[in-house]
Structure 1
Amino acid sequence: MTPENVNILLLEDDDGDAKAIQRALRKAKVANPITRAIDGVEALEILEGSNGRDKLPGPHLLLVDINMPRMDGIEFLTALRSNNELKRSIAFVLTTSARDEDVIAAYDLNVAGYVLKDNAGGDFLKLIELLDCYWRLVKFPDVKDY
């Protein structure tokens, strides 16, 4: 995957799913840094460099679960899009929620895609292939714009 300067942030509260996604990224030879947050609150702290955390430099590619404690994926995306420094981050939803309300809310918040975990398969390799294709075809904003 390129560009090399993109940081991946995985928002996933389920340890098993997080490990499977990280394993698939390694299997696909993704060399980009991968950081995990267990909910939207922690993700914002990582992205903003708040609450004693180092700020994760952009550009960012976010893999966002919907069903998380404290701050769910929709609440996180709402906060992300209202933050002038973070609103350009590329976000994909990766979730078990097939609720139309969640799908509509996510696309209203400008996600690049909404992927059901069941459709991605247990090893998430299909998801990584999708991201790889997307990654190679799109132009990310310059680092100075983050």
Structure 2
Amino acid sequence: PDFKPGKVLTKMFEEKKLGRKSPQGFFDWSAGRPKVDKSKKAGLFSVENSMAIMLNEGCRLLDEKVVTGFKLIDDANMAGMNTPGPFGGGKKQFEKWSNLLEDLADKTGKDYLRPCELMKSGGFVDMRK
């Protein structure tokens, strides 16, 4: 149930609004390929929310003793995605990011997004190894 299609997609599917095939969906395809106004931001993505989720998942790995220190997680992130891991920024932002996740969990109804105790407390800061 946590990873089922969202309400908007489910409603559109039920209403047969399948995009180009129907020709309704997120855009009106009746006159051909729609022009997308790229100057308007949808506001659907937040890098900070993504980093908060990554930090929370990393803290869960530490808490469950899957890894012995957060350096391994940050190093794996750098090796795999060529971006810094969540713990560098998380050491300074964990309180703010914990609040972001509480809000996100409330808005979405997805309790798995709530920050774990290790993240909320900042106890991971001393778990570098």
Q: TM > 0.5 between the two?
A: no
TM-score range, shorter chain: under 0.3
With structure 2 as the length reference, what TM-score do the two structures score? 0.26
Which of the two has greater strand per residue?
A: 1
Whose relative contact order is higher, 1 or 2, with alpha carbons under 8 Å and at least 6 apart? 1
The structure in which a higher percent of residues are helix is 2
